[in-house]
Amino acid sequence: MSLLENVEGPGDLRDLSAEECRELAAEIRSFLVSSVSRTGGHLGPNLGVVELTIAMHRIFESPRDTFVFDTGHQSYVHKLLTGRKDFSALRRREGLSGYPSRAESEHDVVENSHASTSLSWADGIAKANLLAGRTDRHVVAVIGDGALTGGMAWEALNNIAASDDERLVIVVNDNGRSYAPTIGGLAHHLDTLRTTRGYEEFLRWGKRTLTRSGVPGRMAYDALHALKKGVKDALAPQGLFEDLGLKYVGPVDGHDTESLERALAAAKAYGGPVLVHVMTEKGRGYIPAEQDIADRFHAVGQIHPETGLPVAPSRFGWTSVFADEIVRIGESRPDVVGITAAMLAPVGLAPFAERFPDRTFDVGIAEQHAVTAAAGMAFAGLHPVVALYATFLNRAFDQVLMDVALHRAGVTFVLDRAGITGDDGASHNGMWDLAMLRIVPGLRLAAPRDEATMRAALRDAVAVDDAPTVVRYPKGALGDPLPAVGTLDDVDVLAEHPGEGPRVLLVGIGAMVRTALAAGAELAALGVPSTVLAPTWVLPVPSGVVKAAGEHDLVVTLEDGLASGGIGAAIAEACARDGVGTTVRTVGLPTSFLDHASRDQVVEAHRMSAGDVVADVVRALGR
């Protein structure tokens, strides 16, 4: 049996020799490449933390000692070492989550997929341990250097540093990257730490020289103190952490298990908060990932393990449309600037950055700063386009409301991966934005259905200079064009199915337009007349939708956001305000956290398919 096959839990690691630890690391990397290439998942981050995770489990005793990973996509090795070796359904329904999951194991505490939160979690757990008298327990927070660009991490550091007796070890996994190279002042600081090795040696040399010179003790002490002070900022920028009151250990080679164990053991024995600076290489041990400069292996679909190439080439997708159109807009609009939060390539701003480097701002994992900075740019005459995953805008709602909307700032938000995303689970489904943004005064929101409406919506959005605008689009490939057959007060009509009897109005929102069309066709086959509307701009509710509702006997709205408080609810309220008494039935997602599954499985589970819509309509009409 291989070493990995013999590891059923962390206790099995502690009797391994140093050589066996190296063999185990190699086996884990081979397993990860083989498994993740079949299922897809976060490959590069996990290849980089193999030795680190082994060392953590050898020095600390999970679950008595609490491990928190930030972000949790670097927890695959932790899963393996805590007995979870069936990766055959990784990120699929009823398989392993792509993040830590309390439902899977007592070794998992935080489903940490929204970055920069681990230190606050760790601080809270460590404080609770102290109050409960659990002084024999430690909390270990593994935070990627990219996550340290988030303001919440620094809020936590400020509080941790004031707690001298917390048994808390902060492991900074410093690979110089998050999704992409880490940016900002912190990155430059860590770069200096990585390349500055001579501080302690320089101080030892100074101490020896002073001792040999015969300088009296007190004078020698004062001279040494002055020497430390004089060289600290130049040769020891770890002072940034030490000045906060944190004990600093490192830098440590993150691929040398023995060095890691010594550093972690020292941190464990200290009895207070300690920061261990670990240098790792993202994609370590897998040549295609090591040679990658575009971070394509941060997260992969199914790939050929030998080459790293996709098994099936990706179809032209929604993100590519945005990437192309924003460059075109930038050519004619010098006031348009791009802002993102450590996801330049994933959200499609990389081509804009290449064309307009001075007009592109990657702020790190700091969505709140991104949004408020955008408000400032708008005040000063620019039109910022803030591109984020839909789920990550949740983190900056207050800034959207109070900094952008309150000040009537012309800022455009482009939300990638809106609606059901599926595989990454509860935290990544972009299902909250419609209900959340609906309550923002003055905000206008578009949910395009195809490439043409996407390009038009983006151009319309950046033309607004006195209010926030939002363009949301789903994850994945584009479908075929969905042309209108007519309009009603500027709302696109996509299908008319005439007939006798009660008439049904189907209103499709964004990705759900195709479902509305399919449901309309099925109803027509049953002899039920219907109209299919596809408004691109859904907030505020278009007058054409309300007018059409008054001309039908039943309205069914379809969206891949929350049914409660979403666009369907807004349409129902608008109809009630205007005295339209037609019943409005909303089809959407429940107000609950959804387990990881494919989009089709989520749609099926929550009765959002065309067949489900038709069955509900038939029942409602008493047919």
More confident residue, 419 or 304: 419
Among 417, 446, 472, residue at a domain's last position? 472
* CATH number for position 62: 3.40.50.970
User: Residue 622 — pLDDT band, cuts 50, 70, 90?
Assistant: confident
What residue has token string 């369907």? 568
Per-residue pLDDT band for 194 (boundaries 50, 70, 90) equals very low
pLDDT at 232 over 80: no
End-to-end CA distance of the chain: 64
Query: Residue 208's pLDDT is what?
Result: 63
- State yes or no: pLDDT of 229 exceeds 60: no
- 63 belongs to a structural domain: yes
Together in a domain, 466 and 490: no
* Residues sharing a CB contact under 8 Å with residue 573, sequence separation 6 or more, in sequence order: none
Q: Please tell me whether residues 402 and 490 are part of one structural domain.
A: no
Q: State the residue range of the domain holding 138.
A: 50-78+94-196+237-280
The binding site for Mg(2+) comprises 145, 175
Tokens found for residue 268 = 């464990």
> How sure is the predictor about 231, in pLDDT bands with cuts at 50, 70 and 90?
very low
pLDDT band at 50 (very low <50, low <70, confident <90, very high): very high
Please name the residues in contact with 187: beta carbons below 8 A apart, sequence gap of 6 or more: 145, 149, 176, 181
Contact 252, 278 (CB under 8 A): yes
pLDDT at position 91 is: 83
pLDDT of the residue at 197: 47
pLDDT tens, position by position, 502-546: 999 999 999 999 999 999 999 999 999 999 999 999 999 999 999
What is the predicted pLDDT for the residue at 315?
61
Q: Which residues does residue 537 pair with via DSSP β-bridges, in sequence order?
A: 446
Name which residue leads in pLDDT, 224 or 583: 583
330 against 421, higher pLDDT:
330
Question: CA angle 238-242-244, nearest 5°?
Answer: 125
Question: Above pLDDT 90, what percent of the chain?
Answer: 51
Domain count, the chain: 3
Which of 13-17, 37-41, 121-125, 352-356 has maximum average pLDDT?
A: 352-356
Q: Residue 189 pLDDT more than 50?
A: no
- Do the domain assignments include residue 227? no
Tell which of 280, 301, 334 closes a domain. 280
Q: Looking at the annotation, which residues are catalytic?
A: 282, 367, 395
DSSP 171: E
Give residue 439's pLDDT.
96
Token representation of residue 44: 């590069």
Q: How confident is the model at residue 281 (pLDDT cuts 50, 70, 90)?
A: confident
Of 441, 472, 503, the one marking the end of a domain is: 472
For residue 578, tell me if it sits in a domain.
yes
Confirm if 145 and 100 have CB atoms less than 8 A apart: no
Residue 441 banded pLDDT, cuts 50, 70, 90: very high
Proportion of the chain above pLDDT 70, given as a percent: 84
The mean per-residue pLDDT over the stretch 552-561 comes to 96
pLDDT at position 214, please?
Answer: 61
Q: What is the mean pLDDT of residues 147-173?
A: 85
pLDDT of residue 34: 83
DSSP assignment string, 173-230: EE-SBSSSB--SHHHHHHHHHHH---HHHHHHHHHHHHHHTT--HHHHHHHHHHHHHH
Same domain, 504 and 530: yes
The answer to whether position 12 is within a domain reads: no
Establish if 18 belongs to a structural domain: no
Asked if residue 360 belongs to a domain, the reply is: yes
Of 154 and 299, the structure prediction assigns the larger pLDDT to: 154
For residues 467 and 490, membership in a common domain is answered with no
Give the residue ranges of the annotated binding site for thiamine diphosphate.
73, 113-115, 146-147, 175, 286, 367
| 494 and 468, same domain (yes or no) | no
pLDDT-derived band at 55 (thresholds 50, 70, 90) equals: very high
Cis peptide before 71 (omega within 30 of 0): yes
> Is the same domain home to 458 and 496?
no
Is 393 inside any structural domain?
yes
Residue 351 inside a domain? The answer is yes
Per the prediction, the chain carries an average pLDDT of 86
Are 450 and 588 found together in one domain? no
DSSP state of 241: H
